[in-house]
């Protein structure tokens, strides 16, 4: 079975991101399954960046270590990634670099020097050095040259024919030279290995390479999103960019707000007027939104917030990943009010959250927070079109009264905040003469008038909070991956689904029978479903990308269940399956000794 990892490393400004995405798409078009991540610093130029691409003959849900081919644009790239190279790995680098050959041999790696800069300069500009590296890497690995050329032609088409032709010439010369020099000498080459998909085209769309944020934005658009406002903040910005680029095509109003407070207030106003409204942000921006979040809870206006996490506190790690905002999302803003929190674990779940969040927000007339993180948001994954379940997309606007229904009301009969058994009051959009009501952020009565009466306060709080119990009925329990009778269970949430599941065969190879319980519907917590799933657990470890084990604490609070250990990572880099497996093996060994 084919399963290889490739890393492209260099300085910011050398085109590492464009090279990585080009190599990823060329791998897909060559017939392979792909999963890619990018690691970059929060600066425009200088400092080491890298792009890690995994190609495999089976479905994959995470990046993987060690690396089999390193495309090094700088000597620093070799020094940084040397320890993570597999035996027999190749290091493809420019002739001008002078790497430490003795250190490489100690790691079992082999050098493949190539004249990247010379080829690029000969065809017009040394700025195309990264294109030469990608071409040579594709040749050494055994990807399709036609696939690579098709990607390059598309990527540079906006820059004119001359730029396209120059980059194609650079890539082709480097590709052919790598074949001429090194064919048959690289043990991890894909030559002779059959990709999982035939290049024969069919009438049905083939698989696509899509980022998590793109999948979410697509789901939101199909779910009827009609308004999005944002103050750009990594790593949520690409949600906004995707929708802005297609605003006319999709009929979406997009507003680049002056700050995060304005962004959420605009979205709340749009939601009040009846538009499905979205606010993409990260933890720092969400921190500024919390007072307005409480306003949405008090006036019962639906709004969706996509909170794409990065390392904190404060500015923290702007371009890295973390799961540090879970408990914050559950308790943000003063007082108590209903909110729903979803934490999708895969690109498919992230797509579904894009439309499902709007249904939940309108049905329960409350804010819905979709918690993702940089790993899920920015990673590229091979997804089959049918896996996104376009046919399952539906729009549920809840108890939204039609004009005809309002016509039947007597004047003064409509009460926006009417006490109901479910806590969900009939909702009318502004403008109908029989649905005129007051909206205030103070406590209010059924008609929306301010009051501090004790009985009314209790009645309205009870009404609002009853919505949580109604929403709990459709919160999904954890998904189990792997055998039910496993001796070890990995409990995780959000984006860790992929790396955790990918760690299972690694543990199996070491004689450890394990499974994964993954939670994606976080609040209101699905207590009964969780307790039922936990009954079969023999020994559990939580896997989280935060310092305090926030989900393990939430699980204990809601169910009384305690894990044996929390496997934590909070350095801003995503868990790999190998790291999770290693930590689990340590836990198994420690348990055996005790």
What confidence tens digit (pLDDT) does each residue in 294-320 have?
999 999 999 999 999 999 999 999 999
pLDDT average, residue stretch 3-31: 96
- Give DSSP secondary structure letters for 532-570: HHHTT-SSEEEEESSSS-HHHHHHHHHH----SEEEE--
Inter-CA distances, 79 with 70, 71, 87, 97, 252, Å: 11, 12, 16, 12, 47
What does the pLDDT read at residue 520? 98
Model confidence at 343: pLDDT above 90: yes
Residue 200 has pLDDT above 50, yes or no: no
User: Model confidence at 522, in pLDDT bands (50, 70, 90)?
Assistant: very high
Q: CA 102 to CA 359: how far, in whole Å?
A: 60
> For the chain, what is the mean pLDDT?
95
Confirm whether 3-182 and 479-593 share one CATH topology.
no
Top-tier CATH class for 3-182 = alpha beta
209-392: CATH architecture = 3-Layer(aba) Sandwich (3.40)
pLDDT(202) > 60: no
Tell me, rounded to whole angstroms, the distance of Cα 246 from its chain centroid.
20
The lowest-confidence range among 51-55, 227-231, 272-276, 586-590 is: 586-590
Strand order in the sheet with 253-256: 253-256, 225-230, 276-281, 303-309, 367-373, 340-342, 521-523
Q: Judge whether residue 386 has pLDDT over 90.
A: no
* Range 29-34 average pLDDT: 96
- Locate the domains of the chain by residue range: 3-182, 209-392, 399-474, 479-593
Per-residue pLDDT, averaged over 279-285, amounts to 98
Residue 594, pLDDT score: 79
| Per-residue confidence (pLDDT) for residue 592, from 0 to 100 | 87
Percent of the chain with pLDDT over 90: 91
Query: Taking 60 as the threshold, does the pLDDT of residue 198 lie above it?
Result: no
Q: By the 8 A CB rule, do 2 and 27 touch?
A: no
pTM: 0.96
For the chain, the distance separating the N- and C-terminal CA atoms, rounded to the nearest angstrom, is 38
Does residue 257 register a pLDDT over 90? Answer: yes
What is the phi/psi pair of residue 419, to 5°? -70, 125
The arrangement of secondary structure in 479-593, i.e. its CATH architecture, is 3-Layer(aba) Sandwich (3.40)
pLDDT in tens, 64-120: 999 999 999 999 999 999 999 999 999 999 999 988 778 777 888 999 999 999 999
């Amino acid at each position: 079975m084919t399963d290889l990892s490739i890393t492209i490393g260099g300085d910011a400004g050398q085109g590492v991101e464009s090279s990585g995405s080009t190599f990823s798409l060329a791998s897909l078009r060559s017939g392979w399954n792909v999963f890619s991540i990018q690691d970059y610093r929060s600066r425009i130029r200088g400092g080491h960046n890298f792009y890690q691409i995994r190609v495999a003959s089976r479905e994959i849900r995470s990046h993987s270590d060690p690396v089999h081919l390193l495309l090094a644009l700088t000597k620093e790239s070799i020094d940084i990634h040397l320890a993570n190279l597999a035996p027999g790995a190749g290091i493809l680098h420019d002739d001008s670099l002078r790497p430490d050959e003795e250190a490489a041999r100690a790691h079992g790696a082999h050098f493949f020097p190539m004249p990247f800069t010379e080829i690029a300069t000969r065809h017009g500009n040394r700025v195309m050095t990264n294109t030469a590296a990608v071409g040579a890497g594709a040749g050494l690995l055994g990807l399709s040259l036609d696939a690579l050329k098709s990607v390059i032609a598309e990527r540079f088409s906006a820059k004119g024919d001359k730029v396209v032709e120059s980059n194609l010439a650079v890539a082709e010369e480097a590709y052919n030279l790598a074949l001429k020099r090194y064919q048959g000498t690289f043990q991890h080459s894909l030559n002779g290995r059959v990709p999982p998909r035939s290049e024969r085209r069919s009438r049905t769309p083939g698989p696509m390479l899509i980022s998590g944020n793109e999948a979410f934005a697509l789901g939101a658009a199909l779910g009827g999103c009609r308004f999005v406002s944002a103050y750009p903040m990594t790593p949520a910005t690409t949600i906004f960019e995707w929708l802005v680029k297609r605003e006319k095509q999709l009929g979406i109003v997009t507003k680049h707000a002056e700050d995060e407070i304005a962004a959420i207030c605009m979205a709340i106003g749009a939601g009040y007027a009846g538009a499905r409204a979205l606010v993409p942000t990260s933890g720092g921006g969400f921190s500024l939104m919390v007072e307005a979040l409480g306003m949405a809870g008090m006036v019962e206006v639906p709004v969706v917030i996509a909170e794409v996490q990065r390392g904190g506190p404060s500015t923290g790690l702007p371009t890295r990943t973390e799961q540090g905002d879970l408990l914050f999302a559950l308790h943000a803003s003063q007082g108590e009010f209903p909110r729903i929190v979803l934490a999708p674990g895969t690109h498919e779940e992230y797509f579904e959250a894009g439309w499902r969040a709007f249904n939940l927000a309108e049905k329960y007339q409350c804010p819905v927070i979709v918690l993702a993180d940089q790993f899920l948001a920015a990673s590229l994954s091979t997804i089959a079109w049918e896996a996104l379940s376009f046919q399952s997309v539906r729009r549920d606007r809840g108890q939204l009264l039609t004009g005809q229904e309002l016509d039947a009301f007597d004047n003064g009969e409509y009460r926006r905040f009417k006490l109901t058994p479910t806590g969900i009051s009939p909702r009318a959009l502004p403008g109908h003469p029989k649905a005129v009501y007051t909206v205030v952020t103070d406590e209010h009565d059924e008609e929306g008038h301010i009051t501090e009466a004790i009985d009314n306060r209790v009645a309205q709080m009870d009404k609002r909070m009853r919505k949580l119990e109604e929403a709990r009925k459709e919160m999904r329990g954890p998904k189990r991956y792997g055998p039910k009778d496993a001796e070890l269970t990995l409990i995780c949430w959000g984006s860790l689904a992929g790396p955790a599941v990918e760690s299972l065969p690694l543990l199996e190879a070491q004689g450890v029978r394990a499974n994964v319980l993954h939670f994606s519907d976080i609040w209101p917590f699905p207590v009964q479903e969780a307790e039922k799933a936990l009954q079969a657990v023999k020994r559990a470890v939580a896997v989280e990308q935060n310092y305090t084990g926030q989900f393990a604490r939430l699980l204990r609070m809601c169910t009384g269940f305690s894990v044996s250990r929390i496997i934590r990572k909070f350095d801003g880099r995503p868990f790999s399956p190998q790291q999770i497996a290693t930590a689990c093996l340590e836990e198994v060994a420690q348990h055996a000794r005790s």
